[in-house]
Amino acid sequence: MNIYSVTDPEFAPYGKVLGGYDTAALLAAAEKIALPAEGVAYEPGIDSLEASGILPALQDRAYGGMPIQIGMCWGHNTKLNCLEYHRDSELNIGTGEFVLLLAKMDDIVDGKLDTAKVKAFKAPAGAVVEVYATSLHYAPCQVTEDGFRVVIVLPKGTNTAKPDYTPANEEDKWMTARNKWLLAHPDSAEAKDGAYVGLVGENIDIAK
């Protein structure tokens, strides 16, 4: 699979790199969090990251004053497994290089997305990478066997408990958490746990 850079023109429809942020203290705090022995961990908000000093700048400038949370996705992963989206941009900041597997919302046709539409983008350590609301994404992929740590910034409350409602349209059935709509690959653990199966084709593995 061809892996582009987030600085390549091909990334422009999916997001952009934001300048003017000092991420050093944030990344130092993230490095202190131990990696799981296997698999991937995620927490929407982590106190030590939110106390690192960067929250006001990200909240006021990147999100225009909207309340935010600073969490992290970290562990070991090389597969696509699922794609999700939110109603807003997500910021990704890695302590090392990482790869994002992305697709566009308009690639969803009749509730299905062909994984042949997915593109891979490598991000450098410390860069503030904005992923647009219209870009489907999921857990980052590692570049080395050491795994990855990627700080995740989102509007406050995202990826917490799913609201209680009766689905009234097809998209309503895809929601798995607050502000999170998810399409799972049939081979994924999420699909086995009952998530909506919306990905068709290969379950991409960048290690192959």
CATH code (residue 126): 2.60.120.10
37 neighbors 9 (Cβ within 8 angstroms):
no
Return the number of other C-beta atoms located less than 10 Å from residue 120's C-beta. 16
74: in domain:
yes
Identify whether the C-beta of residue 68 lies closer than 8 Å to the C-beta of residue 55.
Answer: yes
106: tokens are 């308009």
Say what the pLDDT of residue 101 is: 98
In a domain, 154, yes or no: yes
The residue type of 131 is V
- For residue 148, the model assigns a pLDDT of 98
180 occurs within a structural domain: no
pTM over 0.85: yes
- Confirm whether 173 is domain-assigned: no
Residue 105, helix vs strand vs coil = helix
pLDDT score at 151: 99
Q: What is the pLDDT of residue 23?
A: 98
Number of structural domains (the chain) is: 1
Residues of the chain with pLDDT under 50: none
Q: Is residue 73 part of a domain?
A: yes
pLDDT of residue 63: 98
For residue 112, what pLDDT is reported? 98
The answer to the question of residue 131 being in a domain is: yes
Q: Pick the closest to residue 1 from 147, 122, 139 (CA basis).
A: 122
Residue 195 lies in a domain: no
Residue 166: inside a domain, yes or no? Answer: no
Q: Domain range for residue 87?
A: 3-160
Residue with tokens 């570049």: 143
